[in-house]
């Protein structure tokens, strides 16, 4: 079999070497938010240790009977660095030899390692959230506290988020590069008979990549639990189904608000950095539980629009809808940037 191009081999080598950064930064994080901790509590998981506000988290979890989190809970800390080192070395060998079949072996190993890591994390979370101290001060029959493997989950009055941290994203991107190089080399060197229909195994591998990578990266807006969710800024219970808003961060955290005014106030107070905001979404006034992106939404401000925190502003998906409402209420139409200057 013909060797891969120099460019492809360099990409594999650089992607492999980039994973050495994971030895020096956290690879995963769990973030907890509650009304009494609006700034949140974070636990960072490294290849060899845990860091962050672990003592505070342990103090809170003690009351519901959860185990004390410490490095001894994770025997993986004793060998994860060696596994990653071996994986990096294998990637460099693939780049040196340059055979596509060897790269395919690396891809299979990547999927196996990713699946094993997620399953291992799930097993830890299951044990941590289910095996509770029967003598705990707070006991809720039938309720468990297993944290999410990836994504968001509500645990009592806490919102728990679990996503890759810097090292984890680097490993994910390196894996995506491996897959990208493989499919580029396959496409470039395929035989004429193969040009019409990819091999079934190629389809399966491509599907596995898409499902794994995008399920880890994408955070979607969450439907409001009216009467239960609390505004991140004013701490009032969210009740009105036509005025809610959410901020989604680059790391997938979701902050909920009950009014346009609260969103702007939260940003102005710099409780979240502008660079950390991936999306700012608002409930469509005409369609409950439907979100519109702040970048494309149109807002109507009028004394006749009674919002929870007196911004008197509603969001609309189209300019026509906004202008119609403005005509009905004697209001003014604006975009998000203009509205922020006026609030």
Say if CB 111 and CB 208 are below 8 A apart.
yes
260 pLDDT above the threshold of 80: yes
Q: Are residues 249 and 205 in the same domain?
A: no
Question: Does 117 fall in a domain?
Answer: yes
Contacts for 44 with CB less than 8 Å, ≥ 6 apart? 26, 28, 29, 50, 51, 52, 165
Identify the three-state secondary structure at position 278: strand
Q: What is the pLDDT of residue 161?
A: 93
How many Cα atoms sit within 13 Å of 91 on the Cβ side?
29
Q: Are residues 139 and 254 in the same domain?
A: no
Q: What is the pLDDT of residue 88?
A: 96
Q: Which of 174, 199, 217 is the last residue of a domain?
A: 217
Q: Are residues 55 and 204 in the same domain?
A: yes
Q: Which of 175, 200, 217 is the last residue of a domain?
A: 217
Q: Are residues 138 and 262 in the same domain?
A: no
Say if CB 28 and CB 162 are below 8 A apart.
yes
Say if CB 202 and CB 183 are below 8 A apart.
yes
Q: What is the pLDDT of residue 258?
A: 94
Q: Are residues 127 and 273 in the same domain?
A: no
Q: What is the pLDDT of residue 216?
A: 46
Question: Does 232 fall in a domain?
Answer: no
Q: Are residues 42 and 139 in the same domain?
A: yes
Q: Are residues 79 and 42 in the same domain?
A: yes
* Residues of the domain holding 298: 245-342
Per cent of the chain over pLDDT 90 is 62
Q: What are phi and psi of 240, to 5 degrees?
A: -85, 120
Helices (H), 131-199: 166-189
Specify the pTM: 0.59
Question: Does 227 fall in a domain?
Answer: no
Q: Are residues 127 and 187 in the same domain?
A: yes
Separation between Cα atoms, residue 86 and residue 49, nearest integer Å: 19
Q: Are residues 101 and 186 in the same domain?
A: yes
Q: Are residues 267 and 148 in the same domain?
A: no
Q: Are residues 310 and 189 in the same domain?
A: no
31-35, 43-47, 88-92, 135-139, range with the lowest pLDDT: 135-139
Alpha carbon separation from 309 to 127, 221, 257, 261, 280 (Å, rounded): 42, 22, 10, 7, 18
Say if CB 311 and CB 261 are below 8 A apart.
yes
Cβ-based neighbour number of residue 197 at 10 Å: 9
Question: Does 51 fall in a domain?
Answer: yes
Question: Does 87 fall in a domain?
Answer: yes
Q: How many domains does the chain have?
A: 2
Say if CB 257 and CB 266 are below 8 A apart.
yes
Q: Are residues 196 and 279 in the same domain?
A: no
Q: Tens of pLDDT along 275-314?
A: 889 999 999 999 988 999 999 999 999 999 999 999 999 9
Q: What is the pLDDT of residue 197?
A: 55
């Amino acid at each position: 079999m013909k060797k891969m191009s120099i460019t492809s081999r360099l990409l594999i080598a650089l992607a492999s070497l980039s994973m050495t950064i994971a030895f020096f930064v956290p690879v995963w994080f769990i973030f907890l938010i509650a009304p009494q901790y609006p700034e949140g509590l974070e636990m960072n998981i490294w290849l060899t240790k845990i860091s962050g506000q672990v003592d505070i988290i342990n103090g809170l979890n003690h009351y519901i009977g959860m185990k004390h989190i410490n490095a001894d809970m994770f025997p993986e800390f004793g060998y994860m660095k060696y596994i990653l080192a071996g994986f990096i070395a294998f990637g460099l060998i693939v780049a040196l030899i340059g055979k596509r079949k060897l790269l395919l072996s690396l891809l299979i190993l990547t999927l196996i390692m990713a699946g094993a890591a997620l399953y291992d994390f799930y097993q830890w979370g299951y044990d941590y959230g289910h095996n509770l101290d029967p003598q705990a001060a707070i006991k809720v029959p039938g309720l468990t506290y297993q944290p999410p493997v990836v994504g968001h989950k509500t645990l009592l009055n806490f919102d728990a988020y679990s996503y890759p941290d810097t090292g984890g994203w680097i490993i994910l991107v390196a894996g995506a590069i491996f897959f990208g190089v493989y499919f580029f080399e396959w496409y470039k060197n395929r035989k004429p008979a193969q040009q019409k229909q990819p091999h079934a195994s190629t389809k399966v591998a491509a599907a596995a990549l898409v499902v794994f990578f995008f399920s880890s990266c994408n955070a979607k807006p969450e439907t409001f639990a009216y009467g239960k969710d609390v505004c991140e800024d004013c701490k009032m219970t969210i009740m009105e189904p036509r005025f809610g808003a959410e901020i989604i961060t680059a790391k997938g955290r979701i902050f909920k608000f009950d009014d346009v005014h609260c969103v702007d106030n939260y940003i102005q107070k710099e409780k979240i950095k502008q660079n950390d905001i991936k999306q700012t979404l608002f409930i469509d006034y005409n369609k409950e539980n439907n979100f519109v992106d702040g970048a494309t939404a149109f807002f109507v401000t009028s004394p006749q629009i009674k919002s929870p925190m007196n911004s008197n502003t509603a969001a609309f998906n189209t300019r026509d809808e906004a202008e119609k409402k403005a005509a009905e209420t004697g209001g003014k139409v604006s975009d998000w940037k203009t509205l922020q200057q006026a609030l």
